[in-house]
Structure 1
Amino acid sequence: MPATLEGQLVVAISSRALFDFEEENRLFESGDTHGYMQAQLHKLDQPAAPGVAFSLVKKLLAFNGDGQRRVEVVVLSRNDPVSGMRVFRSAAAHGLNLIERGVFTQGSDPFRYLRPLGAHLFLSANEADVRQALALKFPAARVATGSMQASNEHPDEVRIAFDGDAVLFDDEAERVYQHGGLQAFQAHEVENAALPLPPGPFQPFLAALHQLQQASQQGAAPLRIRTALVTARSAPAHERAIRTLMSWNIAVDEAMFLGGLPKGPFLREFEPDFFFDDQTGHVSNAAEHVPSGLVTYGISHEPVLAFSE
């Protein structure tokens, strides 16, 4: 029978999201692609340090610990194939032997391979690739490469935190807020409290995590999943968010309705392996405490049109 990824949670990840290749990347960004390749080849036997999403990947792969393949991680990278050798060697050196597949495009757009992979998540340090992935309806985030590394305090749990509007939910309510302010937003959400919000770009990933949790409970997987909704919403706008999750038959373990308070200190206490948000300010604040990624989706990331007389 041909190989298949059907029934698995599939994570596509760039080499810079998985490993710390920032020093080498400066050569690549300068246009010295040959120097970049030579630097990677020179360090072939030197394992790269863990990157921002390393903890998330390592824990997700642990769901295969009982011999059942529930999670597949594929390196999807603008690296050249030669540099890809160091990626695989680094993965093996860090015990990520289950990373067996990779696509290396040598500078070409890699996001087009998300479709044949059936990816449930794409993590990259390249903003253009993330935007294209989101346009193709794949959950994607640009990792903040300067993020704090994940805590080691919860080895038996994968902890993931999500913003609400423009991440788990569509940006419908965010558009009301942007155009009419907080009072209009609150009135709109109270009026529509019983009407579920449309799904946002990360709803499919949350659903896939829910299925993974259910599948692992039937086997002997050594980890569990703990999720949190961390949102700037507050009462009375909280009710619509909760009812939306209920309509999806998906529960989160924790919900934080912060009413505009900085999210970083709360995320520091939750200690996620990764946090997803659509607001640059929230991601910058969170990255001081936890691994974070920017979801470049919705009204906050649409171009501002300038009109002249």
Structure 2
Amino acid sequence: MAANLDGQLVVAISSRALFDFEEENELFEAGDDRAYMALQESRLDLPAKPGVAFSLVNKLLAFNSQERPQVEIVVLSRNDPVSGMRVFRSAAHFGLGIQRGVFTRGESPWRYLRPLKAQLFLSTNEADVRSALAAGVAAARVLPLSARASGEHPFEVRIAFDGDAVLFSDEAEQVFQRDGLSAFQSHESTHANTPLAAGPFKPVLEALQRLQQNPSGPMRVRTALVTARSAPAHERAIRTLMNWQIEVDEAMFLGGLAKGEFLREFEPDFFFDDQAGHVANAAPHVPAGHVTSGISNR
């Protein structure tokens, strides 16, 4: 019988999001893939340094046990197969239980998300992220120069999400951009009891709640909603989560305040936001990814 990943949280990740390949990537971006391959081959026995999403992956894999696998991490990369050997060797060096990978040597790999049934895709390539989102898969462009995750919470995977266009649809954001803040607040107050439609990351939050409710060993999940909303628009966001029967541990309604310093205190392993400005503000403090969905990214 063929293997399958049914019932697991499947995360696809590019090699550059998982490991720090910035020096090597300079050759790749220069269009000299032969030189890039030669450099990676010369470094096969040199483990790559952890990248921006390393902590997230490491902690998610800690939810697995031999009897009950709950998370599958698959490397989905524009790297060539030779460079893929270094990715697998680096993963083994750090004890990451990663067994599957797809390496496409410069071609876009996003189409393999469908047979993998991946719920999340993390990549440094914006075009691949946009293609994944268009195909209905939650995806974010990882900023490779983001701060690395804090080591203060070794038994907690901490993830922070923006609301509109990330967990929720961009319906309300469209009102805000078209008619301004006052109209947005009025619209959300009027529709406080009407749940927002799902955004691309609702399935990810659902999968994290399943992990939280079925822990394996000491690992736990802690989630935060970090949004520019403020009262009275906060109520619709909370009621939407209640309608979905999904809980978050913390909610920050910041009313337009910069998010970076609040995220620094929460210490997430990753933060997802659709606004490039919020991601740029967060990146000096925490691992961050740009969700290129919704009206702000058209």
Which TM-score bucket, shorter chain as reference? over 0.9
> Which residue is equivalent to 2:136?
137
Please name the residue that 1:307 is paired with: none
| Residue 73 of structure 1: how far off its partner (Å) | 0.2
User: 1:213 Cα deviation (Å)?
Assistant: 1.8
Deviations 1:105-162 (A, max 9, x none): 1111100000010101000000000000000000000001110000000001000000
- State the Cα RMSD in Å: 0.8
Residues 185-231 of structure 1: CA distance to partner in whole angstroms, max 9, x if unpaired? Answer: 00100010000000001011111111122222xxx432010000000
Runs of 4 or more consecutive aligned structure 1 residues displaced over 3 Å after TM superposition: none
Structure 1: distance between partners of 2:31 and 2:264: 37
Aligned residue for 1:90, secondary structure, equals helix
The answer to whether the 8 Å contact 1:65/1:222 transfers is no
Please state how far the C-alpha of 1:34 moved relative to its aligned partner: 0.4
TM-score, normalised by the number of residues in structure 1: 0.95
- Residues 66 and 221 in structure 1, CA contact (< 8 A), matched pair in contact too: no
Normalised by the length of structure 2, the TM-score is 0.99
Q: Helix, strand or coil: the match of 1:174?
A: helix
Residue 188 of structure 2 aligns with which residue? Answer: 189
Which residue does the alignment assign to 1:24?
24
Unpaired runs of at least 5, structure 2: none
Q: What residue identity is the alignment partner of 1:282? A: H
> Do residues 228 (structure 1) and 224 (structure 2) align?
yes
Q: Distance in 1 between matches of 2:26 and 2:295?
A: 31
Q: Which residue of 1 aligns with 2:149?
A: 150
Match of 1:126 in 2: 125
**Shift, 1:65, TM fit:** 3.8
Matches within 5 A, 1:66-215: 67-96=67-96, 98-215=97-214
Counterpart in 1 of 2:240? 244
Aligned residue number for residue 37 of structure 2 = 37
Secondary structure (helix, strand or coil) at the match of 1:107 reads coil
User: For the Cα contact (< 8 Å) 1:147–1:290, is it kept in 2?
Assistant: yes
Q: Distance in 1 between matches of 2:252 and 2:183?
A: 22
CA distance in 2, matches of 1:296, 1:261: 21
User: Number of matched residues?
Assistant: 298
Match of 1:256 among 249, 252, 255: 252
Distance in structure 1 (CA, Å) of the matches to 2:65 and 2:214: 13
State percent identity of aligned pairs: 72
1:289 equivalenced with 2:285 (yes/no): yes
